[in-house]
């Protein structure tokens, strides 16, 4: 690993209404007061984390926050996607109300996408809105879920179905925390990194192909580049279409199939990133069958996704079940499923496709 300390990169996300914010990227930021400079005064800070992450990192964050805030407390939620639900959300409200936290409270989401999505949604709702900061601890959260203000809980009938758009004040991505991430979670994060190549930046896809081994080994210089470029692309898209009127949907490449896998198997069975990785294989295959990209391009993506340690063959839920689940997708309109497809290398779009064609893709990509 290449050692580096401090803020190595800063990516701005431009939004109107004074809601622009920075994503700070570097190693050792939890203990770096500079990363917290400029955050507002608050009556208290609640660090929302989980039972896996809090024992490793909550003390370090709390120590830094205590130099700014008189009251700093930690809430450790149960770990896992299956807890990204109403009960999980209520645990945060219980801690806030039970602890007498007022509307000048600042929340810190210290964890992966599950903690980030739950904490962001709690911040959007508590006393009709309190500010929050994202401190993402997984690669997936650093390159995707902590950025852009989508917050949600799952419903048994569909992923992320109940939620709100609510932006954080800042994202502080400390790469040193990735050292303790299990390899399977690194692979899951790589799915969302890879996603940015086909949808927005063909040169980035080639860079990932050349640097995949370094990324899997958590080389710091490689991680800085991957997290920064991913955040730049996401910031650019969200800056143009914060509430997903159109363009932002491209960030969901692979997610329509992927969410069906997650819901169909039961939350937590496959990791979100694994389902997205396999979903991208299926969405690329659909793009080929719609005549948009050559088969060699889909094969190239599939090879990279496999090299990243992700599944490239989907679970056999049956085409009818996939289609039923995908009709619940938020991009569906009037019961018609709309897929993010690759229109040309580095450019994505949204298209409907005949059920029979989609069913054929599912049959050929699952076993
Ligand atoms: P996660 O939050 O479940 O974290 C993965 C696992 O790693 C958990 O067991 C967690 O406790 C553990 N962990 C986290 N940080 C660690 C660390 N530094 N060291 C050791 N273990 C650590 O999963 P995730 O992949 O981060 O996020 C997936 C979630 O994000 C899904 O719910 C998905 O829907 C959501 N998501 C949201 C958006 C968005 O825009 N809001 C985008 C993508 C994904
Ligand atoms: N992860 C998809 C989005 O933020 O829009």
Answer whether 279's CB lies under 8 Å from 254's CB: yes
Establish whether 274 is a catalytic residue: no
Is residue 193 within 6 Å of ligand 2 at its C-beta?
no
pLDDT of 131 > 50? The answer is yes
Distance 234 CA to ligand 2 centre (A): 8
pLDDT in tens, 291-319: 999 999 999 999 999 999 999 999 999 99
Is residue 188 within 6 Å of ligand 1 at its C-beta?
yes
Give residue 89's pLDDT.
98
Is residue 195 within 6 Å of ligand 2 at its C-beta?
no
H or E segment to which residue 75 belongs:
strand 72-77
How would you class 247 by CB atoms within 10 Å of its CB: exposed for 0-12, middle for 13-18, buried for 19 or more? Answer: middle
Domains of the chain: 7-180 (3.40.50.1970), 183-365 (1.20.1090.10)
pLDDT in tens, 27-83: 999 999 999 999 999 999 999 999 999 999 999 999 999 999 999 999 999 999 999
Work out whether the CA dihedral 333, 337, 338, 340 comes out positive or negative.
Answer: positive
Identify which ligand lies nearest to the alpha carbon of 171.
Answer: 1
Tokens of 354: 């005949």
Between vectors from CA 10 to CA 134 and to CA 105, what angle results, nearest 5°?
30
Work out whether the CA dihedral 315, 178, 41, 10 comes out positive or negative.
Answer: negative
Atom of ligand 2 nearest to the CA of 252: 2
Closest CA to 212 of 345, 301, 316: 301
Neighbours of 315 (CB within 10 A): 17
Give residue 77's pLDDT.
98
Is residue 137 within 6 Å of ligand 1 at its C-beta?
yes
User: DSSP secondary structure string, 6-65?
Assistant: EEEEEEEE--TTTT-EEEEEEESGGG-GGGGTTPPP-SEEEEEEETTTHHHHHHHHHHHH
Largest alpha-carbon pair distance within the chain? Answer: 61
Establish whether 259 is a catalytic residue: yes
pTM value? Answer: 0.96
Establish whether 302 is a catalytic residue: no
């Amino acid at each position: 690993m290449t050692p580096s300390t401090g803020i190595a990169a800063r990516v701005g996300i431009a939004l109107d209404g004074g809601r622009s914010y920075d994503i700070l990227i570097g190693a050792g930021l939890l203990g770096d007061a500079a990363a917290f400079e400029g955050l507002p005064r608050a009556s208290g800070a609640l660090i929302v984390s989980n039972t896996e992450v809090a024992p490793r990192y909550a003390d370090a964050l709390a120590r830094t926050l205590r130099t700014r805030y008189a009251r700093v407390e930690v809430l450790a939620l149960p770990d896992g996607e299956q807890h990204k639900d109403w009960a999980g959300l209520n645990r945060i409200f219980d801690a806030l109300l039970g602890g007498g936290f007022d509307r000048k409270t600042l929340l810190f989401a210290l964890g992966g996408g599950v903690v980030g999505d739950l904490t962001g949604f709690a911040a959007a709702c508590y006393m009709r809105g309190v500010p929050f900061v994202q401190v993402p601890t997984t690669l997936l959260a650093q390159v995707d879920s902590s950025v852009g203000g989508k917050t949600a809980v799952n419903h048994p009938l569909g992923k992320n179905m109940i939620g709100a758009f609510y932006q954080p004040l800042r994202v502080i991505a400390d790469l040193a925390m990735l050292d303790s991430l299990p390899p399977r979670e690194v692979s899951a994060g790589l799915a969302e990194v890879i996603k940015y190549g086909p949808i927005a930046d063909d040169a980035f896809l080639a860079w990932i192909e050349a640097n995949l081994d370094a990324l899997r080994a958590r080389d710091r210089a490689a991680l800085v580049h991957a997290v920064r470029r991913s955040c730049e692309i996401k910031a650019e898209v969200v800056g143009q279409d914060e509430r997903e009127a159109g363009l932002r949907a491209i960030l969901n490449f692979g997610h329509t199939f992927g969410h069906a896998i997650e819901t169909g198997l039961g939350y937590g069975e496959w990791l979100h990133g694994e389902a997205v990785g396999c979903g991208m294989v299926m969405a690329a295959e659909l793009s080929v069958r719609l005549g948009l990209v050559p088969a060699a391009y889909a094969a190239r993506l599939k090879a990279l996704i496999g090299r990243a340690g992700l599944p490239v063959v989907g679970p056999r839920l049956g085409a009818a079940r996939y289609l039923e689940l995908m009709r619940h997708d938020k991009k569906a309109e009037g019961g018609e499923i709309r897929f993010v497809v690759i229109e040309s290398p580095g450019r994505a779009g949204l298209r409907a496709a005949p059920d029979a064609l989609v069913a054929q893709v599912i049959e050929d990509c699952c076993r």
